[in-house]
């Protein structure tokens, strides 16, 4: 990008973040003015502008919606990765995008993990099948940004996203979050557990399962965190969570199988730990299981996932259109329909943009759920790596 453009964008960005004082404002205003007056000579401006449009913009606002859609349509496709259709209503999100902009989407490896998404960016660099956009866990988003896997982009609504949920440099933005909940198959279990303490009762023998091993699945780690919060631990100490699962295994209530839709529908895993937006989706998907979703009363842990654009995306304009769509009201409401709390939820609620019926389906939190920071996650993982196989494994 041209130097003056870099300065202009940097100026606008810092202005948003109120990091700029009057003196600097005036100086930069003069510089921008000088640059703009020279380059606004018509034919120079036209040539520059045309050259600029070859590359997608840094700021979503700097091109019009029509231009963005036109350039995206020229690319003709969007590659996404690791987006299961029933995860926070992604199925409808994908279909709506394709229907609205007539851009077909290739959805690869729907059950991939965040690590696999970052690896796909590395391994498939330069391949037309490489993923354009990613939805990864926060520590992978941070790693990917540091490694240079992502492109910088500020969507139109970037500044409305809470500070803690985005990367200031523009490499990633949080998309949605949910809290760890119990998904209870009431066709098998008549007395619904309400807290982690309840789970230790003998009536739940051979009924409780995680959705994977915390040695490999981020959401399973979240389950252990929630258990830690409920048993005297904290975000800095996940040990009590590991102890809880060891105890659950000793009394015979815990079955070491990874819960999946089949085991849930069949009733083999009658009580499962998972994100509330997933468990709530299962209620409709498996009517025979009469699932009830319970937010544990003694430990509420939440985490968000992050959107990012591949730095070497084969379809960069379509990728940016995708992000604009996701952070528009339409996209946000589709995610909310998937029972998740989105990044722009507070803004939408304030503007009363969420229909009452939809608002009532969302999980209500009696107290604020806790989120772990990068440092706390790293420490927790290290502890799980050493303690979990010993205490809970065999």
Partner 1 sequence: MRRRIAPGAVVWLLIGVAYLLIPLVATAIYSLKSNQTGTCCTLENYGEIIHDPAFWKSFRISFVLALETIVIGLVLLVPTVYWVNLKLPRLRPVIGFLALIPFVVPPIVLVVGLLDVFRDTPDWFYAKPYGFLAAAYVILAFPYIYFSLDAGFRAIDVHTLTEASLSLGATWRTTLGRVIIPNIRAAALAGALLTFAIVMGEYTIASLATFDTFPVYIQDVNQNRGFPASALVLLSFGITWAAMIAIVLVGRGSGQASGAQVGGAR
Partner 2 sequence: MDNLPRPAEAGRGRRLSLVWLGTLPFFAYAFLFLFLPAGQVLVGAFKDVDGGFTLENLRTLFDEPYRTGFKNSIEISLVTALVGGLLGFLIAYSAIREGTPRFIRSALITFAAVAANFGGIPLAFAFVATLGTIGVLTQFMANLGWNPYDHGFTLFGKTGIELAYLYFQFPLMVIVISPAIDGLRREWREAAASLGASSYQFWRHVGVPILMPSLLAAVILLFGNSFAAYATAYGLTAGFVNLVPVQIGFYLSGDVLDDPHLGQALAVGMFVVLAVMMLLYIPLQRRASRWAR
| Positions that interact with partner 1 (CB under 8 A) | 81, 84-86, 108-112, 116, 119-120, 123-129, 131, 187, 260-262, 264-267, 285-289
Q: Residue 267 Cβ, how far from partner 1 at the closest point, in Å?
A: 8
Say if residue 97 is exposed, middle or buried (CB neighbours under 10 Å; 0-12, 13-18, 19+).
buried
CA pair distance 87, 329, nearest whole angstrom:
19
Radius of gyration of the chain (CA): 23
User: Phi, psi at residue 71, to the nearest 5°?
Assistant: -65, -40
- Using an 8 Å Cβ cutoff, are 308 and 172 in contact? yes
CB–CB of 202/256 below 8 Å? no
Question: Binds 210, which of partner 1, partner 2, none (CB < 5 to 8 A, cut-off by type)?
Answer: partner 2
Taking CB under 8 A as the binding criterion, the range among 101-109, 149-157, 326-334, 386-394 that sits at the site for partner 2 is 386-394
Which residues, listed in sequence order, are joined to residue 108 by a DSSP beta bridge?
81
Query: Which of partner 1, partner 2, none does residue 384 bind (CB under 5 to 8 Å by kind)?
Result: partner 2
User: Shortest gap between Cβ of 12 and partner 2 (angstroms)?
Assistant: 36
CB of 199 to partner 2, least distance (A): 16
Our finding on whether 308 is near partner 2 (CB under 8 A) is: no
- Indicate the residue among 108 and 298 with the shorter CB distance to partner 2: 108
Select from 33-41, 112-120, 149-157, 289-297 the region that touches partner 2 (CB under 8 A). 112-120
76 binds, among partner 1, partner 2, none (CB under 5 to 8 A by kind): none
CA-based max dimension of the chain: 81
CA pair distance 289, 166, nearest whole angstrom: 38
Contact residue for partner 2 among 257, 353, 358, 375 (CB under 8 A): 257
Pick one of partner 1, partner 2, none as the site partner of residue 137 (Cβ within 5 to 8 A by kind). partner 2
Per DSSP, the three-state class of 361 is helix
DSSP characters for 175-196?
A: EEEEEEEEEEETTT-SS---ST
The two three-digit tokens of residue 43, written as one number: 């034919």
Answer with the entry of partner 1, partner 2, none that 303 interacts with (C-beta below 5 to 8 A by kind): none
Closer residue to partner 2, CB minimum distance, 134 or 384: 384
Determine the length of the chain.
Answer: 394
Q: Indicate which single residue of 186, 191, 262, 373 sits in contact with partner 2 (rule: CB under 8 A).
A: 262
CB of 76 to partner 1, least distance (A): 16
Under rule CB under 8 A, residue 84 binds partner 2: no
Question: Which one of partner 1, partner 2, none is in contact with 264 (Cβ closer than 5 to 8 A by kind)?
Answer: partner 1
Shorter beta-carbon distance to partner 2: residue 47 or 257? 257
Q: Which is nearer to partner 2, 77 or 391 (CB)?
A: 391
Query: Contacting partner 2 (CB under 8 A), which of 40, 106, 119, 146?
Result: 119
* 336 DSSP 8-state letter: H
Residue spans of beta strands (DSSP E) within the chain: 78-81, 105-108, 133-136, 150-151, 172-185, 208-209, 271-275, 291-294, 302-310, 341-342
Rounded to whole angstroms, how far apart are CA atoms 386 and 193?
30
Task: Give the one entry of partner 1, partner 2, none that residue 187 binds, where binding means its C-beta sits below a cut-off of 5 to 8 angstroms depending on kind.
Answer: partner 1
196 contacts: CB under 8 Å, gap ≥ 6:
226, 227, 230, 231, 244, 296, 298, 299
For partner 2, the binding residues (CB under 8 A) are 113-116, 119, 137, 140, 188, 206, 210, 212-218, 221, 255-258, 260, 262-263, 266-268, 381, 384-385, 389-390, 392-394
């Amino acid at each position: 990008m041209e130097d003056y453009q870099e300065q202009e964008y940097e100026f606008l960005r810092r202005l948003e973040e109120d990091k700029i004082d009057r003196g600097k404002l005036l100086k930069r205003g003069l510089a921008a003015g000088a640059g703009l007056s020279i380059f606004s000579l018509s034919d120079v401006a036209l040539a520059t502008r045309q050259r600029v449009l070859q590359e997608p913009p840094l700021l979503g606002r700097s091109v019009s919606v029509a231009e963005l859609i036109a350039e995206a349509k020229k690319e003709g496709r969007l590659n996404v990765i690791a987006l299961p259709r029933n995860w926070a209503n992604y199925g409808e999100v994908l279909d709506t995008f394709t229907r609205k902009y007539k851009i077909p989407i290739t959805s690869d490896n729907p059950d991939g993990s965040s690590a696999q998404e970052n690896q796909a960016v590395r391994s498939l660099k330069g391949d037309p099948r490489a993923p354009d956009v990613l939805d990864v866990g926060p520590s992978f988003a941070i790693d990917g940004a540091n490694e240079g896997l992502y492109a910088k982009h500020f969507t139109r609504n970037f500044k409305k996203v809470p500070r803690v949920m985005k990367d200031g440099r523009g490499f990633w933005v949080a998309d949605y979050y949910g809290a760890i909940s119990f998904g209870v198959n009431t066709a098998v279990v008549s007395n619904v557990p309400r807290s982690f303490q309840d789970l230790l009762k003998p009536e739940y023998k051979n009924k409780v399962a995680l959705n994977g091993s915390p040695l490999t699945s981020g959401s399973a780690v979240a389950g252990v965190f929630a258990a830690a919060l409920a048993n005297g631990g904290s975000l800095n100490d996940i040990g009590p969570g590991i102890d809880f699962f060891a105890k659950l295994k000793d009394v015979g209530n815990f079955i070491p199988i990874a819960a999946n839709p089949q085991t849930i529908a069949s009733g083999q895993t009658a009580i499962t730990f998972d994100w509330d937006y997933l468990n709530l989706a299962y209620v409709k998907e498996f009517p025979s299981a009469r699932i009830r979703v319970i937010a544990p009363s003694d430990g509420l842990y939440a985490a968000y996932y992050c959107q990012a654009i591949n730095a070497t995306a084969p379809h960069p304009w379509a990728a940016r259109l995708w992000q604009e769509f996701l952070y528009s009201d339409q996209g946000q409401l589709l995610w909310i329909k998937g029972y998740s709390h989105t990044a722009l939820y507070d803004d939408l609620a304030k503007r009363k943009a969420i229909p009452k019926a939809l608002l009532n389906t969302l999980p209500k939190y009696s107290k604020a759920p806790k989120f772990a920071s990068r440092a706390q996650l790293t420490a927790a993982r290290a502890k799980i790596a050493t303690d979990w196989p010993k205490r809970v494994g065999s």
